[in-house]
Amino acid sequence: MVSFPAMRLRRIRELESIRKLTRETRLSSSNFIYPLFVSHGTGIKEPIEPMPGCYHMSLDLLAEEVGEIANLGIPGVLLFGLPAEKDPTGTGAYDPEGIIQEAIKVIKKATPDLLVVTDVCLCEYTDHGHCGVIDNGKVDNDQTLELLARSALSHVEAGADLVAPSAMMDGQVRAIRETLDNAGEPTIPIMGYAAKYASSFYGPFRVAADSTPQFGDRRSYQMDPANSRMAMREIETDIAEGADIVMVKPALAYLDVIRQARDKFDYPLAAYNVSGEFSLVKAAAEKGWVDEKPITMELLTAIRRAGADIIISYHAKEVASWLQGQE
């Protein structure tokens, strides 16, 4: 074992050129998926208060937005919809002319090469705000599966490239895979929100998507933040049911889970840098308490270092523009 003074670790930190060559982890615009919130109406670009820089956007403004995203080198967008109406079974989620289905068509027309990923869940579309159907005061797993599968198929029929079930119902990946296969869509991949925690970090998103549960909470279906072995079982199950990409969500408070998943599974791994993680940085930066650019780069680099291949982040556009010319 070589040690000081023969060994001096600072030798390879002295020059920026050497630091660049010995860097183990890199961020690239091609690591990112950027979430978008689409709404009805025209000319709407309404700021989402707790998520500075993010907007509710109507379909007529989408083409310009996705053009910008594609030009930044970001490979894909993840869509969330604000439906005109909500009901107990989340009909808007699988309406062939629903907000998401229409948004997909607009985006595929404007930027055919931009990957359109859809979040497959009912919570934005149900009047009670839960991710599934309520029966006897509880979220019913098996009745929800059919509606999730129907939603996913309607997205694919509208032109979605990748569907991402996030309701945390048991069997949701299998139900969607079967439905897509039976409908002649065996080549559409599924990204499972496999290890999705019941997290307080979703707070700003629920304002953005108007999807706060009207009673109770999501702890009967989303995971307990205290568990990591269970996360491995969730991921294993998603893979067994046919997931092509798996996800850990949130990211920053769960870097250990990302690392465990990376070591255990040879599947593409995504991490969702969720709304609360974004808002904390934005709020502190606004107060001048932290420097937004370096702190964001540090946090996102940590997610990659932990083992994520793909990062879903509200910071994606800013990061991509910061990286321009540097890659």
* 126 contacts ligand PBG (rule: CB under 6 A): no
DSSP string, 155-177: HHHHT-SEEEE-S--TTHHHHHH
* 195 contacts ligand PBG (rule: CB under 6 A): no
In which residue are the tokens 């159907």 written? 133
CB 32 → ligand PBG: shortest distance, Å?
A: 14
Residue tagged active-site, from 249, 264, 287, 317: 249
* 131 contacts ligand PBG (rule: CB under 6 A): yes
Residue closer to ligand PBG (CB basis): 275 or 296? 275
User: What separation in angstroms does the CA of 153 have from each of 74, 97, 140, 178, 314?
Assistant: 25, 13, 21, 10, 26
99-110 helix and 141-158 helix, angle to the nearest 10 degrees: 30
Burial 83-120 (b: 16+ CB within 10 A, else e): beebeebbbbbbbeebbbbbbbebbbeebeebbbbbbb
Among 29, 118, 166, 279, binds ligand PBG (CB under 6 A): 166
Residue closer to ligand PBG (CB basis): 63 or 115? 115
Q: Which residues pair with 269 in a beta bridge?
A: 246
Given the DSSP bridges, would you call strands 32-39 and 76-82 parallel, antiparallel or unpaired?
parallel
User: Does the annotation count 105 as an active-site position?
Assistant: no
- Token pair, residue 158, equals 């509208």
Q: Rounded to the nearest 5 degrees, what angle is found at the Cα of 305, between the Cα atoms of 304 and 310?
A: 15
Residue tagged active-site, from 20, 105, 109, 196: 196
Residue closer to ligand PBG (CB basis): 67 or 225? 225
172-182 helix and 141-158 helix, angle to the nearest 10 degrees: 40
CB 148 → ligand PBG: shortest distance, Å?
A: 11
User: In this chain, which residue has its C-beta nearest to ligand PBG?
Assistant: 205
User: Does the annotation count 196 as an active-site position?
Assistant: yes
> Which residues between 227 and 286 bind ligand PBG (CB under 6 A)?
274-275
* 89 contacts ligand PBG (rule: CB under 6 A): no
The window from 56-64, 66-74, 117-125, 144-152 that contacts ligand PBG (CB under 6 A) reads: 117-125
Residue closer to ligand PBG (CB basis): 217 or 291? 217
* 163 contacts ligand PBG (rule: CB under 6 A): no
Q: How many helices (H) and strands (E) does the chain have?
A: 11, 12
Q: Which residues pair with 260 in a beta bridge?
A: none
Residue closer to ligand PBG (CB basis): 55 or 202? 202
* 69 contacts ligand PBG (rule: CB under 6 A): no
Site track 197-226 with ligand PBG (rule: CB under 6 A), x = hit: -----x--xx----x---------------
CB 4 → ligand PBG: shortest distance, Å?
A: 46
CB 293 within 8 A of CB 219: no
* 154 contacts ligand PBG (rule: CB under 6 A): no
Residue closer to ligand PBG (CB basis): 117 or 235? 117
Among 102, 119, 238, 241, binds ligand PBG (CB under 6 A): 119
CB 124 within 8 A of CB 80: yes
In which residue are the tokens 């490239």 written? 161
- Binding residues (CB under 6 A) for ligand PBG: these are 119, 121, 123, 131, 166, 202, 205-206, 211, 274-275
Give catalytic residue positions.
196, 249
